[in-house]
Amino acid sequence: MTVDILRKPRTAGLARTESATLAREENARFAALLASLDDADWSRPTDCPEWEVREVALHVLGAMEGHVRLWEMGRQIALGVSGSGALADRMSAVQVRERRHLTETQIVERVAEVGPRAATARASRPALMRWTPLPQRVGTSTEWWSLGYLLDVVLTRDVWMHRVDISRAVGRPVELTPEHDGRLVADVVADWALRHGQPFGLLLRGPAGGSFSAGHAGEQLEEDAVEFCRILSGRAPGEGLLSQPVPF
């Protein structure tokens, strides 16, 4: 295992105010997607191993409820500490297991109610807390993040990618706009570029896409913007620079 110990923890590339706006909008879009599902949609398989649409929704709901109530987050961490595998995966299992009794209507209502509060709570964490360093597993490496990077960047990407998972599972196009999704994807590109540190040219297609480059020459890539993120998240295979993972 390679351990990447940075001189300082990885921090957010987005301003906190912009991060909060993106989080609120993403939570709202996720809630709207759930509200649009029909009865058959909830049992459709997703790109997340062993999770149907229902389990994806329960995971996102459990995480949101932990963001609103720190004692709930602490309880989820405590329950997830024991066992093998990454802590995030064990916490996700707790979030799903403890909410399996909810009906689909209850899930929709609770996500709609807690989503805005979760975004506000994440943005309100004090600066001293935000600098807390956290070891995190990314691909085959362990690196250090600031808590602010987790709160402002990764947690919004997680909801966004799960919205993609559900949309693909139920056979619907993902709702995408340049102002929201394009900004999230551009931040993923910046994170990816910092991680691999190589020159490149990248053309991402679709409403969330754009043209990006660094240095001279290097690998020249063209991909759909959503598929680019799916590859970096490990949901689809990638070669060359696209084999560099980015946390979602």
Domain definitions of the chain by residue range: 2-175, 177-248
> Is the model's pLDDT at 5 over the cut of 60?
no
For 215, which DSSP code?
Answer: S
Smallest CA-to-CA distance from 29 within 209, 159, 117, 183 is with 159
Contact 202, 215 (CB under 8 A): no
Query: Could you tell me the CATH superfamily of domain 2-175?
Result: dinb family like domain (1.20.120.450)
pTM (predicted TM-score): 0.90
Average pLDDT taken over every residue of the chain: 90
Residue that wins the pLDDT comparison between 179 and 89: 179
Lowest-confidence region among 33-47, 64-78, 206-220: 64-78
